[in-house]
Structure 1
Amino acid sequence: MTETEAHMSALTGVESYLEHYQLSHDPFAARTPGFKFFTPKRKEVLAELHHLARYASNLLVITGPHGSGKTLLRQALVASCNKDTVQCVVMSAREHSGEAQVLASLCQAAEAGSQDIQALLARAEQLHQVGIQLYLVVDDAEKLDQQALQLLADLSQVAGKAAPRVFLFAEPAFEEALARLDTDGEPDWVRRIELLPYELDDTRDYLAQRLEAAGQGIELLDDRQVLWIHEHSGGWPGAINQAGRQAMMAAMGDELEVPRAARKGLVLPLRSLVALVLVGLGVMFAWFMGDRPQEPSRTVLQLPDPVVEVEARPTPSPQPALVAPVEIDPVAEPLASAPEPAPAPVVAEPEIAPPAEPVAEPEPIAAPTPAPPPVTTASAPAAAPVPSSETAVGGAHTAAWYRQRQGSEYVLQLLGTRSRQAALDFVAAQRGVSDLGYFETRHEGQPWFVVTQGVYPGRQQAQQAVNGLPEAVRRQNPWPRSIASIQQSLQ
C-alpha cells in the first residue's frame, strides 16, 4: 500500500469512527481548544508553584514524560496569576535554545530596553517597585543548551526580592543537564517537582469530560474498556487519548485484544486463529480415519483486518443510489474493527461425523396481491403518510415514550441511520424482538433515525440484556444508552 493509500485509509477510519458514535469532533484530538482537566493532585502542584514563587527563590523545575500534561499546567500557572501583581514572560526552548537567543527573547518580551542581563534585572527591579513580580516561564526546557540553562539558574539566584522567578517545564531527561549546573556549592538552588500519572478514577473522569465535549458521554465506554485504557496509557493524558480512540475504534469490530496483539506482530484475531486450528485438527482427523477420505467440504472464514490508528477525517465515499445507507452503532465491548476482506476458502473437516439434525427452512411468505385501484375520473389518490418519530411504527415506542421515562434508565441502541425507510424496515424485520423504540433526532445538522430495545434500570443491566437478543440483532453491536441522553437529543 502506498503512503497516499494508507493516509486515505486512515482518514476513512476516522470518518467512520465519528459517524459511528455520533461525535461532533474527535474527542481525543491533542490540545482541543478550551479543554482543561485538572485532578486534585495537579491542583496541589499548581498551588505549590504559586507558594514557592512568592516565598522562595529556587529555580523551579517541573518534569514529566511527553503527554503528561506539562503544557496544560504551564497554561494554568500563567492564567491563574494575578495580572496586577505578576508579569509572566513565556517562551519555548524549541524556538530559542541558545544563551544569546534566550536572553534576547526574554528581554524583548519583558520590554527591558536592551538585550543584556543587566537590562533584564533592571526591568525586574522597576516592576518590583510598583508591586509586580517578574515570572520567566520556559516550556520544553530539555531543549536548552547548558549555557542557556546556567543563565536562567543565575537569574533565579540574584539577591533581593526583585529577582525574577524562573519556571522550567521539561521531560525527565532534563535531570542530566541540571546535575551539571554550577551552583556554587549550594544544593538548594533547584526545586524539582515531578508530575504523577492519573489514577483510575482520574482516567475515567478525564474520558468522561473528553466525550461530553464531543456531544456524548462516558456511557460509550464500560468499566472493562476504561480499565484497558488506563492500563495501556499508564495514566498519562496524552497516552489516554491514543488508547481511548483505539479502544472505541476496536469496539466497532469484534476484538478488544487486537491492539495488544498488533503491537506484537499478530495479524489475525484470537478467535480466528482458534478457528483455523480447529479446522486443521479436523483435516488431520479425517486423514487418519478411513482409507479413502471423501473430498472435504469448504468452509469460508471471514477474517477482519487489524485496526488502523488514525488522526484525520476524509470526505466520505458516496453511497450507492439504490440502497439506503445504514450506520450501525457500537457495542460496549471494545473489539477490533476493520472492513471485512473477500472470503478466503479454507479446507475444513470432512463429512464423517454424524449429520446434524436438519433445520427446517422457514416457509416463504407470499407477497400480498395488491388490490386493484378504484376506477375514478377524479385526481390521483393521495400518497400514504410517512411515519414520523411521534407516530407508532409497527408497535414500537415513539418519541413521546422516551420523554416520559426516567433519565437514569437505559435502553439498548440497535441502529442509527440517516435513512428513515431503513429504520422502519429494520423495525418491521424484528418480529421476535419485544419492546422496540423508534425516534428521530439530528446529527451534524441532518436527520438521524434511531431504533432501541427495552428499558433497564442501569447500564450494567442493559449490557447484560444483550446476550438475550437474537443472534441477528447481536451482530448489529447494540450498546447501552441513557434515556437522559436521548431526551436531550429530542429537545
Structure 2
Amino acid sequence: MQSYYNLAHDPFGAIVDAMVFSGAGGRYETAETLRHLLAYSQQDSQLEGPAGSGKRMLAQQVIKMLDESWRVAWVDAADLDSPKALEKEIIGQLGLGLKVEDDTATLLKRINAVIAQRYADEESFLLVVQRADQARPEVEQLLDALRVQAEDADHRIRQLWLVENADAVSDEGDTDWYRHPLEPFTDADAEQYIRDRMIASGYVDDLPIPFTDIARLNQLSGGIPLQLNDMVRDYLISSTFRTTEKKQAFPLTHVIAGVAALTLVTVAFLYQTGESGDNQPVRQADSGSTETDRPLTSVEQRLADAVAQVEARQSGSESVTAEVEATEASTVSSDSTGSESEPSESVALPSSTEGSPTAEESRPTQNAEVPSLLDRGDDAQYTVQLIGVRDQAQLASLLAEFNSPLDVDIVETTYQGDPWFVLIYGQFDTRDEAQSAFEALPEGLFSGDPWIRSFQSLRSSL
C-alpha cells in the first residue's frame, strides 16, 4: 500500500499519530477550550468518549498548546494498584522533591505547599489521568483530596480525566467539573480526518476513496477514529491488490492459455491431414461408428494429453479470475446499495467559549442611550474574549481595571443548565489590532493567549 500510493509512512499507524493532530469533528476547538479552562478557570475537566474516540491524542494536543511554564504528569489509573503508587508518580513526574514515606494526609499538605510555592515562581501543574473511570476507589479518593484540600483553588495541581464511562466518576450536576463529550465523526468529519492523515504521510493528490465509500466506512466504524483507521487501511490494501490483479494476472494467464490452445489445435489438424492424404477429406467423428473406438496412436495420445493440460490451466485461470471478481464485488467500494450514514448532530462543546447560551446578555451598567459592546460590533470586526467564569461577581471586580466601561462587556450564557459569564474586550478591525490591544492591558491583569474572535462568531454562539 505504501509503495503503491508513494507514502512515507502508514497513514493510520503510530508514526502519523505522533506527527499530526486532526482537528476533524471539532477536536481542535475542544483542545483550545481545554487550554483556555486550564489558564482561566478553577474547575477541572473530564474528557469523555468510547475507546478509540481520540481522548489520548486530544490530551496530548492540549499539552503541546501549553507554554513552557507548565509541568505535566500523566498516569494510567487502571495501572495504579494503591494511593502510594499515585503519590510516587506525582512527586516524580512533577519533580517536587518529596519523600513518599510520610502518611497520606501529611504528604498531601506538603505537596500542596510545594505546588503553591512553585506557582509563586510562575510555574503551573497539570495531572492527566487516563482511564480514570477504572481507578480503584482509594486512588480516586486521593485524586479528589488533591483537589479539595488545596488552600488556593487557583494554585493547585489541575486535573484532566480521560474516561469512557462518565457516570462512573463524576456527578453530572457537579459544578467543579467541565465535561467534554467527544461525538462520533460525521461523514464530512471522516473525510477531513482521512485527508489529514494521508497528507501527513506525503500523499498530496485527491483522496483515492470516493465519498460514498468514506460514508460507508464511517458508518461501519461507528464514527470512531481508531476503528476508522483500520477500515480505511484495509480498504486501501484491498484496492491495491485488486488493481494489481487486473493489470497483471488476469490478462497474462488468458493470453498464454489461448496461444497454447491455438497452437496445439493447429498441430493436431495438420497431423490428421497428413495421415488421411492430400486428396482425402478429414473424417468426421461419428458416434455410431466403430472408428471412434479404435486405440489412439502414440502421437494422438500425446496431443490429447497436451490439450487436456491446456484446458485445465484455462479452467483454473478462469476460476481464479472469478474469485478475484467476486471478492471485488463484496468490497466496500462496489457496495452501491449501501446507504450513507446520517451525519450525527454536532453537540456544542461545554467551555467558557463555546457553550450553548440561551439566557439574555448581562452587561456592565452604562448609559442606556449607548449600545453595548456586543451590540456595536460589526460581524466582520473582532473582540478579545478574556475569561469565562461561573460567578458574575468575579468579572464585575475586573471592570475597574479598564479605562472605559464601553470597552468591555459581560455576556451571560448557560452551560449544563447553569449561568456562565464571559468577559469580552474591545472592538477592532483586524486580529493584529486586537492582539496589540490585549498586550497593552495592565501587566498581570490577564496572562496567556487571548481568544480573538469575530463578533459574528460570538453572536453565532448565542
Q: TM-score, normalised by structure 2?
A: 0.48
Q: TM-score, normalised by structure 1?
A: 0.45
More helix by share: 2
